[in-house]
């Protein structure tokens, strides 16, 4: 059975929530290998002048831990 570690990140995008989640995953893949799961735990947004200025995705990313 594999051991899995979970980290929590917040991705951001001016395009939308999906892009914010993908941004967090893209950043994680730069330094983490063998990512097996992404769980979106929340969506938030920064508002300016009555409009959404930046979308945020709070995600948990799981990856296998190797010996």
The CATH number of the domain covering residues in 3-65: 3.30.1660.10
- Per-domain boundaries in the chain: 3-65
Read off the pLDDT of each residue in 25-31 and give the average, rounded to a whole number: 97
pLDDT in tens, 4-23: 999 999 999 999 999 999 99
pLDDT band for position 67 (50/70/90)?
Answer: confident
d(CA 16, CA 36): 23
Read off the pLDDT of each residue in 32-45 and give the average, rounded to a whole number: 97
pLDDT in tens, 41-61: 999 999 999 999 999 999 999
Read off the pLDDT of each residue in 21-48 and give the average, rounded to a whole number: 97
Which of 7, 14, 1 is CA-nearest to residue 38?
7
């Amino acid at each position: 059975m594999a051991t899995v570690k979970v980290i929590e990140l917040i991705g951001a995008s001016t395009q939308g929530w999906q892009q914010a989640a993908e941004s967090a995953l893209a950043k994680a893949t730069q330094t983490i290998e063998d990512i097996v799961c992404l769980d979106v735990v929340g969506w938030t947004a920064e508002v300016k002048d009555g409009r959404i200025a930046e979308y945020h995705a709070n995600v948990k990313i799981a990856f296998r831990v190797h010996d």
